[in-house]
Structure 1
Amino acid sequence: MVQAIRPTGVENLLGEEELIVSKTDLKGRITYANDIFLRMAKYSWKELMGAPHSMIRHPEMPRCVFKLLWDTLQTKQEIFAYVVNLAKDGSHYWVFAHVTPTFDERGNIIGYHSNRRKPDSAPVERIKPIYKALCEEEARHPNAKDGMRASFDTMVGLLKQQNVGYDEFVLSL
Structure 2
Amino acid sequence: MSRTDKHGIIEFANDYFVEISGYTKEELIGQPHSLIRHPDMPRIVFKVMWERIQNGKDILALVKNLAKDVRYYWVFTTFEPDRDLDSGEIFGYKAFRKAAPKDVVEIIEALYKELLEAEKEGGMEASFAHLQAFLHAKDPSLEFQDIMENIHKFY
TM-score (norm 1): 0.82
User: Aligned residue for 2:31?
Assistant: 51
Q: For each residue in 1:75-119, what CA deviation from the matched residue of structure 2 results, as whole angstroms up to 9, or x when unmatched?
A: 110000000000111101100010000000211101000100012
Q: TM-score, normalised by structure 2?
A: 0.91
Structure number with the higher helix fraction is 2
Cα deviation, 1:116-170, whole Å, max 9, x if unaligned, reads: 00122222110011001111111124xxxxx123212211221112112222211
* Aligned-partner Cα distance in 1 for 2:102–2:69: 23
- 1:111 matched to which residue of 2? 92
Q: Which residue of 2 aligns with 1:94?
A: 74
Q: Counterpart of 1:129 in structure 2: which amino acid?
A: A
Within 2, Cα distance between the matches of 1:138 and 1:168? 22
Cα offsets for 1:55-82 (capped at 9, x unmatched): 1000111110000000001111000000
- Alpha-carbon offset, residue 36 of structure 1: 1.3
Q: Which of 127, 141, 154 is 2:108 aligned to?
A: 127
| C-alpha RMSD of the superposition | 1.1
With over 3 angstroms needed to count, the CA separation of the structure-2 counterparts of 1:171 and 1:122, relative to structure 1, is farther
For 1:150 and 1:25, the matched residues in 2 are separated by 30
- Of 51, 63, 69, 1:83 maps to 63
**Amino acid of the residue matched to residue 51 of structure 1?**
Q
Amino acid at match of 2:23: Y
Gaps of 5+ in 1: 1-20, 142-146
| Alignment gaps of 5+ in structure 2 | none
Q: Among residues 67, 72, 78, which one is paired with 2:52 in the alignment?
A: 72
Deviation per CA, 1:35-57: give whole Å up to 9, x if none. 11111111111211110000100
The secondary structure found in structure 2 opposite 1:102 is: strand
**Partner of residue 10, structure 2:** 30
**Cα deviation, residue 29, structure 1:** 0.4
Matching of residue 161 in structure 1 with residue 118 in structure 2? no
SS at match of 2:68: coil
Distance 1:47 1:73 in 2: 25
The CA distance in 2 between the partners of 1:149 and 1:41, in whole Å, is 31
